[in-house]
Amino acid sequence: MKSVISTETKPIKMWLNDIDAEALSQARNLANLPFIYKHVAIMPDAHCGYGMPIGGVLATTDAVIPNAVGVDIGCGMCAVRTSLTEIDKESLKTLLGSPKEKRGIRGRVPVGFKHHERAQDESYMPDTAPLENVQNSRVMQLYQAAKKQVGTLGGGNHFIEIQHGDDNHIWIIIHSGSRNIGLQIARHYNQLAIKLNERWKTSVPRKWDLAFLPLNTSEASNYLAEMQFCVEFALANRKLMMERVQQAIEEVVGSVQYEPLINIAHNYAAVENHFNEHVIVHRKGATRARTGDMGIIPGSQGSSSYIVVGKGNPESFSSCSHGAGRVLGRKQAQRTLDLEAEQSRLDELGIIHGMRSKRDLDEAPSAYKNIDRVMENQQDLVDIAVRLKPLAVVKG
């Protein structure tokens, strides 16, 4: 931990020294919520989000906050270590493939706003039984459309990367979320919370964007059930993409062995026990890191990523960062960064990347914090198991 702010109703415990002013203001709002438990934890990759900083961890006693989970419910990472110890550049290019020619990763996994032309098999979808008691379930209204979106990457900072570890193995890493279904569930319940908070005349200012649902209400129960479906859908989405990537690899290099999937989510709320109390822990751009938990902390497409093992630090509510964190907003990066310089940086590292136009600068390496500094700031949260270097990148 780097510092503690004690001027608010509850302390703010921070694992960074360079938090931006807007994110700090949001953290102060969190620390003054009437139902906050113990303190606010701010991870070393923190930056401004919507209502709550991305890289924030918040525990509450009797309320759940949709905006403290975020719009991409269940967004997270998965990683698999392969039996491959090397793969040459030409094979990597073939592996990435082309969506037009329906080959390679790009031919199997739709990216951006694209989805499958046909619904995927029902077996790839999560169980809907837990939603039986949710009246007018938004998930069920969106379910059929979601069958075309499972196994798709999405946009923004989502990616598929082929990486080489310092354990001398090739790894596959995927970052993606719950696609449109998670977005719609988040929006629906946040708008519902806003209306209810106005009706109840709560003490939480609307301008904080932290409208909440008391746990003893049907609205909170419905949100938690539909949120959990989205968390499971996001995992199903990553699993199907991983299956398709493995198919593409075997077409290029032949038979390959894969170790068990490592999966972690970083946008969700869950009942957990901390300091001998059951509370609702909200992680928004933060990863659970209990003692022995395997985790994944990516850098940018031009820097290392890490497989880590959690230390279960109670002060962070057993959490760690979910990545490097941004230093430039998307539009700011597109406006200020130099395309040729960013391309040259990736080329010099020998990375096969998708940096083609100024529009892609929102995901340039210079838009992100220094991952090594981020890792240095959380030595009390995780141990590094494997350091990974990117070889080839498919960006949303």
- DSSP H or E segment with residue 304: none
Q: What is the overall mean pLDDT for the chain?
A: 96
Residue tagged active-site, from 158, 188, 266, 322: 322
- The secondary structure of residue 141, as a DSSP letter, is H
pLDDT digits (tens, 9 = 90+) for 273-303: 999 999 999 999 999 999 999 999 999 999 9
The answer to whether position 356 is within a domain reads no
Tokens of 262: 């490592």
Phi, psi at 382, each rounded to 5°: -145, 155
The answer to whether position 59 is within a domain reads yes
Determine what percent of the chain is predicted with pLDDT higher than 90: 97
pLDDT at 354 over 90: no
Which residue is listed with tokens 């990347």? 353
Residue 391's identity, in one-letter code, is L
In this prediction, residues 252-265 reach a mean pLDDT of 97
Query: Are 238 and 176 within 8 A, CB to CB?
Result: yes
pLDDT at position 290 is: 98
pLDDT digits (tens, 9 = 90+) for 325-334: 999 999 999 9
pLDDT digits (tens, 9 = 90+) for 164-189: 999 999 999 999 999 999 999 999 99
The answer to whether position 123 is within a domain reads yes
pLDDT at 102 over 90: no
CA atoms of 22 and 384, how far apart (whole Å): 30
The answer to whether position 337 is within a domain reads no
Determine what percent of the chain is predicted with pLDDT higher than 70: 100
pLDDT digits (tens, 9 = 90+) for 305-316: 999 999 999 999
Tokens of 125: 């979808």
pLDDT digits (tens, 9 = 90+) for 6-29: 999 999 999 999 999 999 999 999
Catalytic site residue 322? yes
Q: How much is the CA Rg of the chain, to the nearest whole Å?
A: 21
The answer to whether position 357 is within a domain reads no
- Closest by Cα among 12, 34, 30 to 214: 34
Q: What is the CATH number of the domain that holds 31?
A: 3.90.1860.10
CA atoms of 189 and 315, how far apart (whole Å): 29
pLDDT at position 101 is: 81
pLDDT at position 178 is: 97
CA atoms of 328 and 308, how far apart (whole Å): 26
Torsion angle of the four alpha carbons 152, 157, 162, 165, in this order, in degrees rounded to the nearest 10? -140
pLDDT digits (tens, 9 = 90+) for 51-87: 999 999 999 999 999 999 999 999 999 999 999 999 9
The answer to whether position 49 is within a domain reads yes
| Distance of alpha carbon 213 from the chain centroid | 23
pLDDT digits (tens, 9 = 90+) for 27-48: 999 999 999 999 999 999 999 9
Domain count of the fold of the chain: 1
pLDDT at position 46 is: 97
Query: Are 112 and 154 within 8 A, CB to CB?
Result: yes
Q: At what angle do helices 138-146 and 179-200 cross, to 10 degrees?
A: 160
The answer to whether position 362 is within a domain reads no
pLDDT at position 50 is: 94
pLDDT at position 192 is: 97
pLDDT at 127 over 90: yes
The answer to whether position 225 is within a domain reads yes
pLDDT at position 99 is: 84
pLDDT at position 12 is: 98
- DSSP H or E segment with residue 382: strand 382-395
pLDDT at position 109 is: 97
Query: Are 206 and 258 within 8 A, CB to CB?
Result: no
CA atoms of 311 and 196, how far apart (whole Å): 39
Domain that holds residue 294: 3-327+368-395
pLDDT at position 100 is: 83
